[in-house]
Homo-oligomer: A and B are copies of this chain.
């Protein structure tokens, strides 16, 4: 029986279940197949801070959202067209995000009165009419799985555990996804336990067949591959892209990469990823705490490595003092902050952009640090390379501000050729650079390159360049301890001038019609939602311009000019207006902040509304 095939241009699916239900894995696999199939896509994993909160509870719900389409898309989507809810908790936690008419696939086996009560359902939504505005597909996923596996030598619990594969099979059928790679994946994952492997494959296939035969689904959907720039693609998440970017930078600089880090959500994965690649000479060190992590990285930088430390907001707070030391020492160092919800421990697994001002100012004294921010998961690759470039060229710590959404989200990425990556070759100091009064030569660690204002990077082991550096104020040039008033003023200004003078590319404005009067200015992971919102607005015939900042410190030189070109500048941020403060303070432009601090990316629809309101007000 072949069913009708309906063409769609895009779909948003959300998988939701208990932390132990394997939703992240299911979503990952569906995503990989979708990427392989050639759709454009964007994902949003969303899970609790606990490892595995008690089954069936609201705090235990783990979700994974995937948006895929036959055209270029920019966000994981505002509201899912399809929700797969493995239990009542998953339904309850997610139903409010669904538009009317959405498809609801519910695992009826879990809708027991006990489970319903656990999350405060007085009546069963399966039959109390409360879901009438959705297309409900009640399916006994658990028992169907158990039934499919009845011939296997498995306990009930073990069999039930395969229900996510059943669901994946069913969805794969429904959306015409390829299956081979999923089976291969299972082979790798369960290769050592053949019985479990066979069961999972059987569950997956049973799900597929179920989709094909059940009357629950009258149609099958097809979403054509997207037309993307020609080239080789892969799907990549932000944390992996960032890790690869660091490795690539190290290769292009010809200097080993050293990571000193302490685990913290959502940054730990970078440590995990980098520690797999020692064959690139990559060194990773899990330190005793954040301070030791950055300390060791700084020590490695001093020794001529590309020192990197990775963390999230609370870790940055702890590293502040050492970042100040790096500023004083003028050594290269990359500080990766994968931002999460704050303040304090906050919302460890949620996203936020509220560390920008911490990165700018979170140190004692005048201690300027450049800031680079990626704008999409794949862009983490380029942003990491740029951060290393600035760090090594200007001998300075650099902030790389990612966030939880970029870190865990993924998208297709056109794989660059190695040759296309910038050449980051570094010149270490090798000769004395100062002539004493008596004509003898000396090495002065604080003589600056006249162009970059960078000081020489003289690595221990280099004969004749023995020198001492430290966190106390030092005399311009010689680097000796100096308490002189004029020297201090000069050094403070020199350090600032070095950062202010960093060569960063101009910001590019996207204003196709050329007659927009409103500019949307963003940074970091709001790129997708802002872009999607701008498209919507334009599709309604309203002109609006858009610019996105990769460099937050220093700002691109043309930014002031750009801002002046518009009547209104709107700055949407997942904080209370941090970039807005900097822009207003520097350019005296009455920028309008638009803020949400919900731990989730903006919704394009909502942003579009905001833009239209502002356009209407001009």
Determine, out of A80-88, A186-194, A381-389, A480-488, the stretch whose residues face the partner at the interface.
A480-488
Decide: B364 and A361 in contact? CB cutoff 8 A.
Answer: no
Decide: B364 and A576 in contact? CB cutoff 8 A.
Answer: no
Decide: B361 and A342 in contact? CB cutoff 8 A.
Answer: no
Chain B CB within 10 Å — which of A314, A341, A365, A576 has the most? A365
A597 to B348, CA, bound (A): 39
> Taking the nearest CB of chain B, how far is it from the CB of A16, in angstroms?
14
Q: Which residues of B contact A561 (CB under 8 A)?
A: none
Decide: A354 and B364 in contact? CB cutoff 8 A.
Answer: yes
A287 to B38, CA, bound (A): 60
Decide: B483 and A49 in contact? CB cutoff 8 A.
Answer: yes
Among the listed B361, B367, B599, which residue makes an inter-chain contact with A488, where contact means beta carbons less than 8 Å apart?
A: B599
Q: Give me 8 A-to-B residue pairs in the complex whose CB atoms sit less than 8 angstroms apart, sorted by A's number.
A: A49-B483, A314-B324, A320-B362, A342-B366, A345-B471, A346-B472, A358-B361, A488-B598
Determine, out of A132-140, A420-428, A581-589, the stretch whose residues face the partner at the interface.
A581-589
Decide: A472 and B345 in contact? CB cutoff 8 A.
Answer: yes
Known contacts A342-B324, A361-B360, A584-B588: does B483 contact A350 (CB below 8 Å)?
A: yes
Decide: A473 and B347 in contact? CB cutoff 8 A.
Answer: yes
A269 to B143, CA, bound (A): 73
Indicate if A276 sits at the interface (CB-CB under 8 A). Answer: no
Q: Which residues of B contact A472 (CB under 8 A)?
A: 49, 344-348
Known contacts A320-B320, A346-B472, A472-B347: does B361 contact A489 (CB below 8 Å)?
A: no
Decide: B366 and A363 in contact? CB cutoff 8 A.
Answer: no
Decide: A596 and B364 in contact? CB cutoff 8 A.
Answer: no
> Taking the nearest CB of chain B, how far is it from the CB of A51, in angstroms?
14
Decide: B343 and A470 in contact? CB cutoff 8 A.
Answer: no
Known contacts A48-B483, A317-B363, A320-B362: does B357 contact A328 (CB below 8 Å)?
A: no
Decide: A366 and B324 in contact? CB cutoff 8 A.
Answer: no
Residue of B nearest to A323 (CB): B317
> Taking the nearest CB of chain B, how far is it from the CB of A469, in angstroms?
11
